[in-house]
Amino acid sequence: MSDTAALVQLTAAEMAEKIRNKEVTSRELVEAHLAVIEAAEPQLQAFLKVSAQEALAQADEFDALSDEDKAKLPELAGVPIAIKDMIVTEGIETTAASRILEGWVPPYDATVIERLKAAHMPILGKTNLDEFAMGSSTEHSAYQNTMNPWNTECVPGGSGGGSAAAVAGFEAPLALGTDTGGSIRQPGAFTGTVGVKPTYGAVSRYGAIAMASSLDQIGPATRSVLDSALLYEVIGGHDKRDSTSIPEPVRPAAEAAREGAKRDLKGMKVGLIKEIGGEGFQQDVLDRFNECVKLLEDMGAEVVEVSCPHIGYALSAYYIVMPSEASSNLARYDGMRYGLRVMPPVDVPQTAANMMSYTREAGFGDEVKRRIILGTYALSAGYYDAWYGSAQKVRTLIIDDFNKAFDQVDVLICPTAPTTAFKFGDKIEDPMAMYVNDIATIPANLAGLPAMSIPAGLSGDGMPVGFQFLAPQKRDEVMYKPAAALEAALEEQWGGPVWKSMNTPWLEGLNK
């Protein structure tokens, strides 16, 4: 193992500590990760764009700061990060993995990017995703497949497969994702990493390319619970440019994570969601889940079964709300102001309307078109009440279910996904099979709850399994404590982080 390999395998919090202790500079961290990216990309293809020059410049800027100035910055200052290509970055091409935005260089930064820059966290590049974050395998990217670092024949999950694979494969210690129906958490589960969807409105969406506005939320992808907590505290908090941003300060997530590491959960009530699990869930996913439940109990938590009776309708409601909002959010890609323009064939009138239709036909992939058509239908006159209206009512029922559950317990738990990572092509031809993969992650989006997936161990064939915590709205810190406790307990059992079981040939040849 080279120094570079050892360095990139640290957690972000450990890297930050080394920076503070002057054992490493930000530039050295960036260079180490750029070296891993160069070595790993041929196998992983997690990045759509590597912004090496920008990252090095940002690192140098941080390194040049006085100790006094550095001390005022967030804990993660100087640690590099990768960004899902669904978040706009000024001067760095942003495509949402769609042909329709190919070559688009945004003239502005998302709020989260501004906050990362203010924290002096260098941006390594933009990660791959399902086109416009629509998918659960990253196979719907218009540009490339991203491979699961645990087994390159398997998908990394989606839509944020690029961010998850980059973090799992040590190409980046941290990444940002967007989670509309599980796009941070499910890839986290598939790649043995931590993925967090904060409370809806806890992190500004300004500059996150919209898929379904009432469901989308930006969140961290990391290799430890504490790293997610620290990153959430950098990007979270009120933003006046997002009307749905909660006008309150960030919750004390890092403190809760550090508290959790003590592995004392006495007095904590944990609710096991009865309706998620069982049929359709892979047996070893359930086995790992049950083992984790036992560990929580061993640390003093009281685990009870709770019922969310309307959760069975969540998938249906989601597949109405999401495409409806997406159909409207994606209308702007019309060939007029940015991105692709395709003129109609010569035998078709060369009008603006036809230009738009041919641009959108050529620029969008199958899944995007499918959802736009479905959403257009769900909103159209005559069907609105039966579809969109009904789905919004289901949201109310699900929120009520969760409110009742949180009257009884502090946090809720369930598996993150019904299966471990599947092979490329397994589900791509069957939309419904792909959609069902999000059954355990969607309820948190519909209800606006914070939720997180952490590694729960491996399946029989050696693929990671995810374990999910859900907390009440606006109380994100509540889930960090048991998550950090479970992580610590599991790592003790395994003798280290879950990735110790992963083969990383791309780290072998690194020299420094």
Partner 1 sequence: MSTFTREEITHLGDLARIALTEKEIVRMQDELNSIAESINTVQEVATDDVQPTANPVPLEAYLRPDVAQKPLTQEQALSGAPVKEDGMFVAPRILGEE
Partner 2 sequence: MAEKLMKYAEATDKYDVVFGLETHVELSTNTKLFCPAHIEFGGEPNTQLTPVSLGLPGSLPVVNETAVDYAIKLGLALHCQINEWSQFARKNYFYPDMPRDYQISQYDKPTNGEGYLDVELEDGTVFRVPIERAHIEDDAGKNTHVGGADGRIEGADHSLVDYNRAGVPLIEIVTKPITGAGDRAPEIAGAYMRAIRDIVRALGISRAKMEQGNMRADVNVSLRPSADAPLGTRSETKNVNTFRGIEKTLRYEIRRQAAILDEGGEILQETRHWDEATQTTAGGRVKSDADDYRYFPDPDLVMLHITQSHIDEIAAQMPEMPRERRNRLKDEWNFSDIEMRDVINADALDLIEETVKAGATAAGAKKWWLGELSREANNQGVTLEELSITPADVAEVEKLIADGKLNDKLAKQTVNFVLAGEGTPAEVVEKRGLKVVSDDGALEAIVMEAMEANPDVVEKLKSGNMKPMGALIGAVMRATKGSADAKSVTKIVMSKIK
Residue 449: CB minimum distance to partner 1, A: 8
| Active-site residue, 159 included | yes
- The residues, ordered by sequence, that sit 6+ positions from 341 with a Cβ below 8 Å of its Cβ are 335, 355, 359
Decide whether 120 or 205 has the Cβ nearer to partner 2: 205
By C-alpha distance, which of 51, 87, 50 is closest to 176?
Answer: 87
Residues 241-260 that bind partner 1 (CB under 8 A): 243-244, 246-247
Residue 353 engages partner 1 in binding (rule: CB under 8 A): yes
Residues 66-125 that bind partner 2 (CB under 8 A): 87-88, 94, 96, 101, 104, 106-108, 110
- The residues, ordered by sequence, that sit 6+ positions from 216 with a Cβ below 8 Å of its Cβ are 133, 178, 179, 180, 205, 208, 210
Residue 356 engages partner 2 in binding (rule: CB under 8 A): yes
Q: List, in sequence order, the alpha helices (H) in 92-219.
A: 111-118, 161-168, 185-191
**Binding segment for partner 1 among 140-148, 277-285, 386-394, 452-460 (CB under 8 A)?**
386-394
Residue 389 DSSP code: I
Decide whether 45 or 137 has the Cβ nearer to partner 1: 137
Residue 208: CB minimum distance to partner 1, A: 16
**Enclosing H/E stretch for 399:** helix 390-408
For 411, list phi and psi in degrees, rounded to 5: -135, 160
By C-alpha distance, which of 226, 231, 156, 227 is closest to 190?
Answer: 156
Select from partner 2, partner 1, none the partner in contact with residue 43, using the beta carbon and a kind-dependent cut-off of 5 to 8 Å: none
Residue 502 engages partner 1 in binding (rule: CB under 8 A): no
For residue 50, the one-letter residue type is: V
Residues 297-316 that bind partner 1 (CB under 8 A): 310, 313, 315-316
Residue 324 engages partner 2 in binding (rule: CB under 8 A): yes
By C-alpha distance, which of 291, 315, 10 is closest to 181?
Answer: 315
Decide whether 39 or 374 has the Cβ nearer to partner 1: 374
Residue 341 engages partner 1 in binding (rule: CB under 8 A): yes
Select from partner 1, partner 2, none the partner in contact with residue 448, using the beta carbon and a kind-dependent cut-off of 5 to 8 Å: partner 1
**Enclosing H/E stretch for 368:** helix 366-379
Residue 284 engages partner 2 in binding (rule: CB under 8 A): no
Decide whether 205 or 427 has the Cβ nearer to partner 2: 205
Select from partner 2, partner 1, none the partner in contact with residue 397, using the beta carbon and a kind-dependent cut-off of 5 to 8 Å: partner 1
Interatomic CA distance for residues 169 and 167, integer angstroms = 5
Residue 116: CB minimum distance to partner 2, A: 15
